[in-house]
Structures are given as structure tokens and as C-alpha cells.
Amino acid sequence: MRRLLFAANWKMHVAPQQAREYLKLFAMHYRTRPDREVWFFPPAVSLEAVAHAIKDRTDARVGAQNIHWEPKGAFTGELSAPMASHAGARATLIGHSERRHLFGETDEHVGRKLMAALKADLTPVLCVGEKLEERDAGQTVAVVTQQLAAALAGLDGGTLGNVVIAYEPVWAIGTGRNASPQDAAQVHREIRAWLKARNAARTRVLYGGSVNLTNIAELLAEPELDGVLVGAASLDPEGWATLAQTGAA
């Protein structure tokens, strides 16, 4: 049984003091649930504040939004996986579409970062997803499986079990336009088949892209989805606590 995962991607929002206040409010509104986990991806400067605030929770984790593939060196402005880990991170996003499309990250960079994360014991949350023109051209599955292959080539089923995949169609991120639950589930089935062929049944596959309080229930009704990766709708602590408790017994 895979536990549901609710991952909050704060992007370039929530400084350390705001993070402390956020987590106080979140704790007031969110009760630990045995069937789910809540992970937070704050900006690097807030990693320690979040790690400290959730240190007594067994159902929560903090992670970096991005890492460099080298452990240290002359890379101005970058954050390494061991450093993120020292700051309390236990996971990291890898290859988020904003990194790929706004900052020019290639499949090769993504693959190197994924290996660096595993080496530092950070759970990689590998983001994959097609652009609108690729979807319209019927290339969704080809694009997504190519991104999986590029990042995960050579990993055995046991290691793949320690990776989380987030399927985020690029056209659905921050646009208010989400994939229908059926569309999302369809791609999830393809990802699941790809994983199964590599003996990785344990890997969790999340959906992301304009997930909010209005659409979360119907998304979670799809058994293919093991959780969600959420940007804008994770910025309000009370709303996020409500979203992350959707469908809980």
C-alpha cells in the first residue's frame, strides 16, 4: 500500500519567519493521518526553519526545490545535495518544468541531479510533463517516457522504489487549467507500466498542475494518483491543511 503524498512547492515564496508562522497555523489545522504524508519544498533559505518546525512530526518532510549535481565547488548561487541535507532536507524536486523551461535544464542535467540526490540520501521527486504543443501533437506519452528514461536509466527496481515521480503537464502549471482526472490517470497508467516493467511497484506517482480545493477530491478519486504536487494552493496554511486532509477517514 502506497501512502498518499501531498507535496507543497512554495517556489519563490515564504521567507524563514513566514515559514515559522505558516507551520504554526498549519499545525493548528492539520491532524496527522496514517494514510498520508505532507512534504514541504520551501526556498533554500527557509529549509532550516521548516525542518525545525516539523521535527516532531513523523508524517512530514522538508525538501529542496533544486540542487546542483556536484557536492561542492565554485558554482556561484548553487546549492548542493549534501548542503541541503545538512539544512534538514530529506527530499528534493528534480527537473521541475520551471527549471527545465525557464532556466534551461536539460535531460542530462536532470539525470545528474537525480544521481546526486540519491547519493546524498535525498528522495528525488522527479518532475515530468509535456508542453501544450506536444500534447496537441499526440506526443504526451512519448515525451514523458523519454524524460523518465533519460533521468532514471540504469536504476534497479529497488532504487526506483525510493524515487517519487510527479506528472505535471506544463500547460497546467500555474495556469488555472488542470488536466481532467481521467487525462491525468491515463498518463499515470503509462508511467506505472513503465515502472512495472522495471520492477518498481512501490514508486509513488503524483499529479501536479493547478491542483486546488475545488478539484482535489475528483483527482484523488482516481486510484492511479498517489498524491499531488501543489504550488499556488499550498501557500495558504489553512487552505493547504484542508486540501491535504481531503478524503481522509
Which residues are at the interface with ligand PGA (CB under 6 A)? 9, 168, 173-174, 208-211, 229-233
State the minimum distance, in angstroms, from the CB of residue 6 to ligand PGA.
12
Assess whether 168 carries a catalytic annotation.
Answer: yes
Question: Of 98, 168, 188, 224, which is the active-site residue?
Answer: 168
Closest CA to 10 of 28, 23, 29, 27: 23
Task: Kindly tell me which of 43 and 209 has the beta carbon lying closer to ligand PGA.
Answer: 209
Cβ-proximal residue to ligand PGA, closest one: 231
State the minimum distance, in angstroms, from the CB of residue 249 to ligand PGA.
25
Q: Which residues contact 69 (CB under 8 A, 6 or more apart)?
A: 109, 112, 113, 115, 116
Task: Kindly tell me which of 74 and 171 has the beta carbon lying closer to ligand PGA.
Answer: 171
Task: Kindly tell me which of 201 and 217 has the beta carbon lying closer to ligand PGA.
Answer: 217
Task: Kindly tell me which of 157 and 239 has the beta carbon lying closer to ligand PGA.
Answer: 239
Question: Of 68, 96, 109, 188, which is the active-site residue?
Answer: 96
Task: Tell me the residue type at 204.
Answer: R
State the minimum distance, in angstroms, from the CB of residue 208 to ligand PGA.
4
Q: How far apart are CA 24 and CA 17, in angstroms?
A: 11
State the minimum distance, in angstroms, from the CB of residue 76 to ligand PGA.
25
Determine whether 150 is exposed, middle or buried from the number of CB atoms within 10 Å of its CB (0-12, 13-18, 19+): middle
Q: Which residues contact 186 (CB under 8 A, 6 or more apart)?
A: none
Q: How far apart are CA 114 and CA 94, in angstroms?
A: 6
25 alpha-carbon distance from chain centroid: 22
Assess whether 96 carries a catalytic annotation.
Answer: yes
Do strands 4-9 and 60-64 pair parallel, antiparallel, or not at all (unpaired)? unpaired
Active site residues: 96, 168
